[in-house]
């Protein structure tokens, strides 16, 4: 099976600005940031889309949410940040390896997009 772009970054086969990593996930800076803090939080386990996650992924998904809060706090945005998950091409997903966009550092309007 062909590795995703994110698997290659996690495996250090191609460069990526890693700002956090633990046994379950890696966070990198987005190459086209939409805010002062725009990180991608990527599980080490390759799950193509959120809708492809199963019951066995519940703890991993929870870990991602908790890691996001810790990472936002470490970057000075612990009280104001947004998490975005694009599920599928029609929702804007371009890399089919589940990832959370962690965004902060500017006013975020609602509704997005």
The residues annotated with a catalytic role in the active site are 99
Helix (H, G, I), strand (E, B) or coil at 29: strand
Task: Tell me, rounded to whole angstroms, the distance of Cα 113 from its chain centroid.
Answer: 18
User: Residue 110, Cα to own-chain centre: how many angstroms?
Assistant: 20
Task: Write phi, then psi, for 4 (nearest 5 degrees).
Answer: -75, 165
CA distance 64 to 60: 6
Q: What distance in Å separates the CA atoms of residue 83 and residue 103, rounded to the nearest whole number?
A: 6
Token pair 């929870």: residue? 62
């Amino acid at each position: 099976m062909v590795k995703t772009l994110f698997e290659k970054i996690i495996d250090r086969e191609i460069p990526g600005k890693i700002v956090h990593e633990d046994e379950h996930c890696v966070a990198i800076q987005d190459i086209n940031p939409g805010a002062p803090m725009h990180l991608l939080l990527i599980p080490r386990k390759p799950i193509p889309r959120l809708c492809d996650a199963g019951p066995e992924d519940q703890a991993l998904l929870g870990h991602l949410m908790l890691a996001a809060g810790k990472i936002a706090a470490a970057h000075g945005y612990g009280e104001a940040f947004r998490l975005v998950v694009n599920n599928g091409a029609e929702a804007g997903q371009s890399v089919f390896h589940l990832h959370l966009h962690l965004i902060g550092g500017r006013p975020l309007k609602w509704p997005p997009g």
